[in-house]
Structure 1
């Protein structure tokens, strides 16, 4: 695997190191030792799959707080998505900054999301399928979220939002969260 750290410390784009022969190729997609060597948490508590019927579907921005903070390893296995993370670590020099990356079935990239990063994505194709390896169990009482279109973050989603859950469109705005002290 080829690990490339983003401008948000601890968040990595992971590309495959393909070994080709006449049959096709072989590549490792996860190795606890390699993750640990890069300072990443290799725990996998759950594996999730989401399927998105329509281009423009948006899911996010979600995260869990301690003691149930999650790491995520995201991979698009069908179609394409635009994946975005926001650093929610108050002690981080990149606190409240975000970065996005395109994950596709063709580029086979993965995105490692550290603990205390809000995460969301938008389907860039009909039929986009996404696999998540998650480092902590889903714990509703520790779940938090940010509004995908919050002007505070000014995330530039690549296409018009066509589908979104009521929950995701109603997360509080950042200004409301900082005033209420619930970040």
Structure 2
């Protein structure tokens, strides 16, 4: 595996070694000792989630508040997404900044997003299968979200009219946001 520091402190891009032949391929998608040695993050993933989405579905920008904050290791099994992490750590020099990355079933790249970031993604292909490992359990009372279209965040989603949930339609602005981190 190749570990690449993200643009914002704490984010990591992980490119697995893929061994392919006439039968298909094999790859190691996670190994805790390598992960900790390379990133300095000791993680304990306790929940795996998966979503299937049509092209143009936008999910996010979501986070869970402490003490149930989640770190996430995300990847695309098939299809493609524009994946976005927004720094919401109020004492961070990159507070309010974001990093975007394209994850696909072909490139098999993974993105580690630690607690203190809001996360979202836009599907770029039909039948996109998105998978993520979480460091804490889903806790509905701790949910938070930011408006995906917020101009203060400056995220370039492209020329889209996304399909979004009612919850995401009601997400708050960054200007009125008080970070719990």
Q: Could you state the TM-score of these two structures normalised by the residue count of structure 2? A: 0.93
Q: Deviations over 1:20-72 (max 9, x none)?
A: 5564543211011111112123211110110102x111000001111111000
Give the secondary structure class of the aligned counterpart of 1:164: coil
CA distance in 1, matches of 2:121, 2:161: 11
CA distance in 2, matches of 1:57, 1:131: 15
Aligned 8 A contact 1:65 1:143 in 2 = yes
C-alpha RMSD of matched pairs (Å): 1.7
Give the secondary structure class of the aligned counterpart of 2:176: helix
* Structure 1 residues 125 and 65: CA distance shift in structure 2, 3 A: same
Aligned 8 A contact 2:66 2:180 in 1 = no
CA distance in 1, matches of 2:25, 2:180: 47
Moved more, 4-13 or 158-167: 158-167
**1:146 and 2:126 correspond:** no
4+ runs of 1 displaced by more than 6 Å? none
1:57 alignment partner in structure 2: 57
**1:85 and 2:98 correspond:** no
* Residue segments in structure 2 that go unaligned for 5+ positions in a row: none
Q: Could you state the TM-score of these two structures normalised by the residue count of structure 1? A: 0.92
1:104 alignment partner in structure 2: 104
* Residue segments in structure 1 that go unaligned for 5+ positions in a row: none
CA distance in 1, matches of 2:49, 2:129: 11
Aligned pair count reads 180
Give the secondary structure class of the aligned counterpart of 1:4: strand
